[in-house]
């Protein structure tokens, strides 16, 4: 008899990927501390993969692991590694992950098979979106599970709004907005005045410094296309 109390299944989880060329502990400490200071709550215990494709030297993975522990980050593994760097990563107890590519997969071959009746569709259980008709103040955090979040007010600096679905803000966004929190990359963020500290969709994020361009202080729609965040006019 099979034991159903133990199962090992594959799954996908959003991971932050760190890109840099200088992997000395001193350089990493300085750069990571600057980023963490901008959005400390968002990165707390965040799982991270480091891309070593352009590493100028062989990283000291054991020392880097210790640095991540000190900064309250979780170093999962490396990607873009040569066979030599993979071996070094494995010796330090890190996973060597495959670097994703943007190329399209080849079409699957057609295999003749006896058609089987389609299963009856599962009943759709409606989910109720969350509507908040007030401002979200600094220090407040709102999370909506399995639905959209609609805010008829401002999200202040230091506030955080999170939803598994889309986020609609009918005022200024000055804090953090995280849509698709469960990993759904089709979700979007809509706001009437974009001055965010951080925006994120399905684990992909931009900090304020990356947002201060054409759409800063204007109405905007933020979406995820081909793994990249994209800003567009709301109207």
Asked if the 130-233 domain carries CATH number 3.90.650.10, the reply is no
Supply the DSSP string of 185-214, one letter for each residue. Answer: TT--EEEEEE--SEEEETTEEEEHHHH-ST
The predicted structure's pLDDT at residue 109: 37
**3-state SS class at 33:** helix
Q: Are 137 and 153 in contact (CB under 8 A)?
A: no
**Average pLDDT for runs of 10 along the chain of length 235:** 60 72 91 78 80 89 94 91 92 84 38 47 64 92 91 93 94 93 92 93 87 91 91 85
| Second-level CATH architecture of 16-97 | 2-Layer Sandwich (3.30)
Q: Are 33 and 43 in contact (CB under 8 A)?
A: no
φ and ψ at residue 233, rounded to 5 degrees: -65, 140
The residues with which 143 forms a beta bridge, in sequence order, are 162
The predicted structure's pLDDT at residue 116: 44
Which residue matches tokens 């030297």?
Answer: 57
Is beta strand 220-225 parallel, antiparallel or unpaired with respect to 228-233? antiparallel
Count CA atoms closer than 13 A to 53's CA, side-chain side: 11
Neighbours of 127 (CB within 10 A): 13
The span from the CA of 147 to the CA of 203, in Å, is 17
The predicted structure's pLDDT at residue 108: 35
What residue segments make up the domains of the chain, in order of their start? 16-97, 130-233
pTM higher than 0.85 for the full model?
no
Nearest to 51 by CA among 71, 35, 26, 28: 28
Which residue matches tokens 């994703």?
Answer: 100
The predicted structure's pLDDT at residue 56: 82
């Amino acid at each position: 008899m099979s034991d159903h109390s133990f199962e090992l299944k594959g799954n996908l989880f959003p991971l932050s990927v760190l890109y840099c060329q200088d992997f000395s502990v001193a350089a990493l400490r300085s750069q990571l501390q600057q980023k963490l200071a901008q959005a400390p709550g968002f990165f707390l215990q965040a799982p991270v993969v480091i891309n070593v494709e352009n590493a100028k030297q062989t990283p000291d993975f054991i020392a880097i692991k210790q640095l991540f522990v000190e900064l309250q980050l979780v170093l999962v593994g490396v990607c873009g590694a040569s066979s030599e760097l993979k071996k070094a990563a494995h010796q330090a107890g890190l996973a060597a992950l495959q670097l994703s590519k943007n190329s399209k997969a080849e079409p699957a071959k057609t295999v003749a098979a006896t058609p089987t009746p389609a299963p009856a569709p599962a009943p759709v259980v409606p989910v109720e979106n969350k509507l908040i008709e007030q401002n979200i103040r600094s220090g407040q955090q709102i999370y909506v599970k399995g639905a959209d979040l609609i805010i008829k007010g401002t999200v202040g600096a230091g506030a955080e709004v999170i939803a598994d679905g889309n986020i609609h803000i009918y005022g200024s966004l000055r804090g953090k907005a995280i849509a698709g929190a469960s990993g759904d990359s089709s979700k979007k963020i809509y706001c009437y005045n974009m001055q965010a500290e951080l925006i994120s969709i399905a684990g992909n994020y931009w900090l304020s410094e990356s947002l201060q361009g054409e759409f800063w202080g204007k109405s905007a729609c933020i979406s995820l296309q081909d793994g990249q965040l994209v800003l567009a006019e709301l109207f």
